[in-house]
């Protein structure tokens, strides 16, 4: 009786271990999906912002058009909105990077870890490029106000 009870307890422990392992694997899968979704959304947003900043940068080259007070005011308002949006998304970038680092550290496959790392590096570089463009537009704004 004691032996059969031990066997039942042992099998129940194995069952619990399997359930815990399954829960951990499901959570890992969800976190991977969450990361890839968040990163894709951030990349899409970054592309939209980069496009808007490129338009502003092109407009800033046309100093004749910016002599018009209404156009200049509109241009400056767009810049301010984009700058505010960039500042607000800086924490999103940090969160996505942190999620990626944690995910990468937990990955066993070197290939998958490398892919995550490469995407994060590409987003980080893209962010720096967008920030440089924003600074260029800000400088043009400063020159116009001078």
Q: What is the structure's pLDDT at 36?
A: 86
Contacts 24+ apart (CB under 8 A), 62-66: 63/144, 66/144
Determine the pLDDT at residue 33: 83
Q: Given this model, what pLDDT does residue 27 score?
A: 66
Is position 138 within any domain?
A: yes
Please give the pLDDT value at position 28: 66
Q: What is the pTM of this model?
A: 0.77
Q: What is the CATH number of the domain that holds 116?
A: 1.20.58.60
Could you read off the pLDDT tens digit of each residue along the chain, which spans 146 residues?
A: 555 767 777 676 676 666 766 666 666 667 778 888 889 999 999 999 999 999 988 887 777 776 777 878 888 888 889 899 899 899 889 988 988 888 887 777 778 888 888 999 999 999 999 999 999 888 887 777 66
| Euclidean distance between CA atoms 125 and 35, whole angstroms | 18
What is the domain count for the chain? Answer: 1
CA distance 114 to 40: 17
So what's the pLDDT on residue 142?
A: 76
DSSP letters, 57-84, are HHHHH-TTGGGSHHHHHHHHHHHHHHHH
pLDDT in the model for residue 29: 67
Question: What are the two backbone dihedrals, phi and then psi, of residue 68, each rounded to the nearest 5 degrees?
Answer: -70, 120
3-state secondary structure (DSSP) of residue 107: coil
CB atoms within 10 A of CB 86: 17
Asked if 93 and 122 touch (Cβ cutoff 8 Å), the reply is: no
Residue 44 lies in a domain: yes
The pLDDT of residue 2: 54
Q: Is there a domain that residue 9 lies in? A: no
pLDDT at res. 75: 83
Give the residue numbers spanning the domain of 94. 31-145
Note whether residue 10 is domain-resident: no
Quote the pLDDT of residue 111.
83
Beta carbons within 8 Å of 134's beta carbon, 6+ residues apart: 53, 79, 82, 83, 86
Return the axis-axis angle of helices 110-145 and 2-61, rounded to nearest 10°.
Answer: 30
**Could you tell me if residue 94 is inside a domain?**
yes
Which of 123, 122, 130 is CA-nearest to residue 57?
A: 130
């Amino acid at each position: 009786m004691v032996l059969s009870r031990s066997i039942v307890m042992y099998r129940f422990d194995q069952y619990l271990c399997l359930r815990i392992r399954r829960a951990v694997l499901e959570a890992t899968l969800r976190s991977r999906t969450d990361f890839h979704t968040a990163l894709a959304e951030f990349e899409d947003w970054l592309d939209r912002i980069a496009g808007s900043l490129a338009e502003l940068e092109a407009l800033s080259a046309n100093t004749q058009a910016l002599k018009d007070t209404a156009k200049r005011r509109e241009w400056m308002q767009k810049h301010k909105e984009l700058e505010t949006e960039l500042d607000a998304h800086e924490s999103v970038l940090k969160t996505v990077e942190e999620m990626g680092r944690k995910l990468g550290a937990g990955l066993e496959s070197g290939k998958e870890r490398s892919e995550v790392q490469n995407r994060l590096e590409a987003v980080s570089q893209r962010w720096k490029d967008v920030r440089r463009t924003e600074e260029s537009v800000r400088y043009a704004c400063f020159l116009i106000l001078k």
